[in-house]
């Protein structure tokens, strides 16, 4: 592993840098990536943000979003940039499989690889790691990396603050998750001092839905929500035909699982959605219930204790049946 002083030495002279994050990036993925981008370009580096896939429209307002390269749309350019890079920053993911085909390009690259992440069980592909599972967001760790590790808080500006606040806000559930401790609130206050307009960021992310998304949400809550009171569990299932009916785009399903978790008395919520290639699951829980354990053990995934995801190669019906069957194993924990 490189030391902090070695990283600082590398960043003291112009580098060709690629920043990448996980597929289907969320607010933390894009906020941390574009926040780091805004810091590095001030130092004179040649920087490109490359995402493995597209990402939600309600994040396109972020500063410098127009400079983002989407791998699936510009594969040759992405490959060349990774090959030419001297440093690759890997944000909000800890295993190269999380960036799809882009992962093999990063693995083969001779560039120094810097991981900034807060997920469990990181893969050993990196040369420097700023990692903590206690952090509420990768954006929190990017702030810590710039301000406390590199000691370069003087570079903080409105663009960086806006991006990092977005990442922290979205991954902390608008500061309501247990991971949003006093340190997170102090960082948020600093970011507001640096120019982040917290009210505007919240509005642009959460009050920016399309009509189709609102109608789809109503359909999910009215017609697809199933409550299993014996297990304090709520399930919403969606077919690929329903996705087509409501013209669902990337990001339109984000956060719907939280509505299921908000039902009085519910401890575990599942949003199970049929995609063209596999069935995706998004789990949320309260208290100490290990949603990530279910995803890791049964659904090829993982995540945080209260927010996790995975997938199944079975069809939608069989996946739902498997999920319901495993609840018996966790019944004691669910009823505590």
Tell me, yes or no, whether 66 and 180 share the same domain: yes
Tell me, yes or no, whether 123 and 160 share the same domain: yes
Q: What is the CATH number of the domain that holds 257?
A: 3.10.310.30
According to the model, what pLDDT value does residue 298 have? 97
pLDDT in tens, 286-299: 999 999 999 999 99
Tell me, yes or no, whether 88 and 164 share the same domain: yes
**Element at 233 (helix H, strand E):** strand 233-238
Tell me, yes or no, whether 55 and 202 share the same domain: yes
- Please state, as a whole number, how many other Cβ atoms lie within 10 Å of the Cβ of residue 328: 11
The two tokens of residue 98 are: 């999380």
HSE of 205, CA atoms in CB hemisphere, 13 A: 26
pLDDT bucket at 170, cuts 50 / 70 / 90: very high
Tell me, yes or no, whether 70 and 156 share the same domain: yes
Range of the domain at 326: 211-335
Tell me, yes or no, whether 216 and 154 share the same domain: no
- How big is the chain by its Cα radius of gyration, in Å? 20
Give the sheet arrangement for strand 69-70, strand by strand: 69-70, 46-51, 16-21, 87-91, 112-117, 128-131
Tell me, yes or no, whether 54 and 191 share the same domain: yes
Tell me, yes or no, whether 162 and 300 share the same domain: no
Q: Where among 183, 206, 229 does a domain terminate? A: 206
According to the model, what pLDDT value does residue 149 have? 97
According to the model, what pLDDT value does residue 59 have? 97
According to the model, what pLDDT value does residue 294 have? 98
- pTM flag (> 0.75): yes
* Three-state DSSP state, 64: coil
According to the model, what pLDDT value does residue 213 have? 95
Tell me, yes or no, whether 159 and 272 share the same domain: no
Q: What is the CATH number of the domain that holds 63?
A: 3.90.1640.10
pLDDT in tens, 174-232: 998 889 999 999 999 999 999 999 999 999 999 999 999 999 999 999 999 999 999 99
Q: Where among 186, 206, 226 does a domain terminate? A: 206
Query: Which whole number is the average pLDDT over 158-171?
Result: 98
Tell me, yes or no, whether 229 and 190 share the same domain: no
According to the model, what pLDDT value does residue 223 have? 98
The two tokens of residue 143 are: 């702030």
According to the model, what pLDDT value does residue 122 have? 94
pLDDT bucket at 249, cuts 50 / 70 / 90: very high
* Structural domains in the chain (count): 2
What b-and-e string marks burial along 1-17, b requiring 16 or more CB atoms within 10 Å of the CB? eeeeeebeebbeeebbb
CA distance 137 to 190: 16
pLDDT bucket at 18, cuts 50 / 70 / 90: very high
Eight-class DSSP state of 146: I
Question: Which are the contacts of 307, defined by CB distance < 8 A and separation ≥ 6?
Answer: 177, 283, 284, 285, 291, 292
Q: How much of the chain is helix, strand and coil, in % rounded to 5? A: 45, 20, 35
Pairing of strands 87-91, 112-117: parallel
pLDDT in tens, 121-156: 899 999 999 999 999 999 999 999 999 999 999 999
Query: Which whole number is the average pLDDT over 275-281?
Result: 94
Q: Where among 153, 173, 206 does a domain terminate? A: 206
How would you classify residue 113: left for phi > 0, otherwise alpha for psi between -120 and 50, otherwise beta? beta
pLDDT in tens, 78-111: 999 999 999 999 999 999 999 999 999 999 999 9
Q: What are the angstrom distances between the C-alpha of 122 and each of 18, 37, 118, 131, 288?
A: 20, 23, 9, 9, 22
According to the model, what pLDDT value does residue 267 have? 98
Tell me, yes or no, whether 86 and 199 share the same domain: yes
The two tokens of residue 227 are: 């409550």
Tell me, yes or no, whether 30 and 164 share the same domain: yes
According to the model, what pLDDT value does residue 194 have? 98
């Amino acid at each position: 592993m490189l030391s902090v002083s070695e990283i600082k030495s590398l960043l003291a002279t112009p580098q060709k840098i690629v920043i990448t994050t996980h597929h289907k990036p969320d607010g933390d993925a894009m906020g941390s990536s574009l926040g780091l981008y805004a810091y590095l370009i001030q130092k004179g580096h040649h920087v490109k943000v490359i995402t493995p896939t597209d990402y939600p429209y309600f994040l396109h307002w972020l500063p410098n979003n127009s400079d983002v390269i989407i791998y699936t749309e510009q594969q040759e350019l992405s490959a060349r940039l990774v090959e030419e890079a001297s440093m690759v920053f890997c944000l909000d993911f800890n295993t190269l499989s999380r960036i799809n085909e882009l992962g093999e390009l990063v693995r083969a690259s001779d560039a120094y690889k810097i991981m900034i992440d807060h997920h469990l069980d990181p893969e050993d592909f990196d040369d420097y790691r700023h990692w903590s599972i206690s952090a509420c967001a990768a954006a929190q760790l990017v702030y810590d990396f710039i301000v406390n590790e590199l000691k370069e808080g003087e570079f903080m500006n409105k663009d960086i603050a806006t991006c990092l606040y977005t990442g922290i806000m979205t991954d902390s559930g608008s500061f309501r998750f247990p991971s949003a401790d006093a340190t997170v609130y102090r960082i948020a206050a600093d970011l507001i001092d640096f120019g982040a307009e917290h009210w505007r960021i919240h509005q642009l992310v959460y009050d920016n839905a399309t009509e189709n998304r609102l109608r789809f949400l109503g359909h999910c809550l009215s017609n697809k929500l199933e409550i299993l009171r014996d297990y304090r569990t709520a399930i919403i299932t969606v077919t690929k035909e329903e996705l087509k009916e409501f013209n669902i785009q990337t990001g339109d399903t984000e956060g719907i699982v939280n509505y299921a978790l908000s039902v009085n008395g519910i401890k575990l919520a599942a949003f199970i959605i049929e995609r063209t290639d596999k069935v995706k699951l998004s789990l949320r829980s309260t208290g100490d219930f290990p949603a990530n354990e279910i995803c890791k053990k049964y659904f090829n995934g993982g995540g945080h204790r209260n927010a996790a995801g995975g997938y199944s190669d079975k069809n939608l019906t069989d996946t739902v049946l498997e999920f319901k069957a495993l609840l018996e194993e966790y019944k004691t924990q669910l009823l505590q």
